[in-house]
Amino acid sequence: MNTLSFYKYQGTGNDFVLVDDRQNQLHLTQEQIAQICHRRFGIGADGFILLRSHEAYDFEMVYYNSDGRTSSMCGNGGRCIARFAADLGVPGNRYRFLAIDGAHEAEVGPATVSLKMQDVAQVSPVKGDWYLDTGSPHYVAFADAPEELEILSAARAIRNSPPYQQEGVNVNFIALRENGLYMRTYERGVEDETYSCGTGVTAAALVAHTAQSGLTQPIQVSTKGGQLSVSFEEGPKGFSNIWLRGPAEFVFKGTYRHD
């Protein structure tokens, strides 16, 4: 049996197992990572993240979905790994790190971690709803009462439809509220509803703006796990200088035995 030292972090209820792998030596199988993330037989998490060293960046983020597969960008995971880096003593409170979709900037404050997202060139209408890529692919639909929606059946019908069946898509249902947006998210790879999704919150804010909702920036987005905010600039080439802001917190640390 081998032992793995890990740290648990969460960002508005989106929870992750993080490992300090600055020696770049840890190699786990898909099955091992899925077991670690299992909420009955493992630690339990929406995702698994390695913090690795990189000669050109403050660190590198290697992200896996809870099914053990490598995945596209995770916004809340990016904010949590920035907090993790600060807690580990990586110098400074502003970081430039590498993720699967390219370089990101992050700023760690006492209560908030801010993450700069990749530019978004296009928000595309799809059968009355919307599709865009904010580092991960997202399908966004307005709903009268997302709180009352049978989200698993509704989201899976979209996620498993022919355009998205092979690669998968994250599905978000959003509604305008007096103080911003409320949303619920179904994530591919987790294949379930999560309490929050950073790339999904970013997608929701950009869709709401595109639909001319009249929301002022920063757009406040409430999820099941808490509130995040999104600010951005719009130009002829789409959206740039996109920042996702909200809490990212250490929960506990421990050791995990694995084969």
The predicted pLDDT at position 21 comes to: 98
In the CATH scheme, what is the homologous superfamily, with its name and number, of domain 124-245?
Answer: Diaminopimelate Epimerase; Chain A, domain 1 (3.10.310.10)
Question: pLDDT-based confidence at 1, cuts 50/70/90?
Answer: low
Domain boundaries, the chain: 2-115+247-258, 124-245
pLDDT at 31 over 80: yes
Alpha helices in 60-150 (DSSP H): 75-88
pLDDT at 258: 82
Give yes or no for a contact between 142 and 174, defined as CB atoms under 8 angstroms apart. Answer: yes
Closest CA to 133 of 121, 116, 145, 115: 121
Mean pLDDT of 106-115: 98
Yes or no: say if 93 and 56 are a contact pair by the CB < 8 Å rule: no
Rounded Cα distance between 90 and 82, Å, is 9
Provide mean pLDDT across the span 127-133: 96
User: Does an H or E element contain 205, and which?
Assistant: helix 198-210
pLDDT band at 179 (very low <50, low <70, confident <90, very high): confident
* Token couple for 148: 């009352």
| Continuous segment of H or E residues that includes residue 36 | helix 30-37
Q: Are 52 and 220 in contact, with CB atoms under 8 Å apart?
A: no
Q: Which among 134, 200, 153 is positioned nearest to 172, based on CA atoms?
A: 200
Query: Tell me: the pLDDT tens digits for 48-61?
Result: 999 999 999 999 99
* CATH architecture assignment, domain 2-115+247-258: Roll (3.10)
CB 248 within 8 A of CB 37: no
* Banded pLDDT at 128 (limits 50, 70, 90): very high
2-115+247-258 and 124-245 in the same fold: yes
Contact (CB, 8 A) for 31 and 68: yes
End-to-end CA, the chain: 5
Catalytic residues: 74, 197
pLDDT digits 0-9 by tens, 142-165: 999 999 999 999 999 999 999 999
Instruction: With residue 209 as reference, give the H or E element that holds it.
Output: helix 198-210
**Closest alpha carbon to 50 in 72, 69, 30, 24:** 24
Q: pTM of the entire structure?
A: 0.96
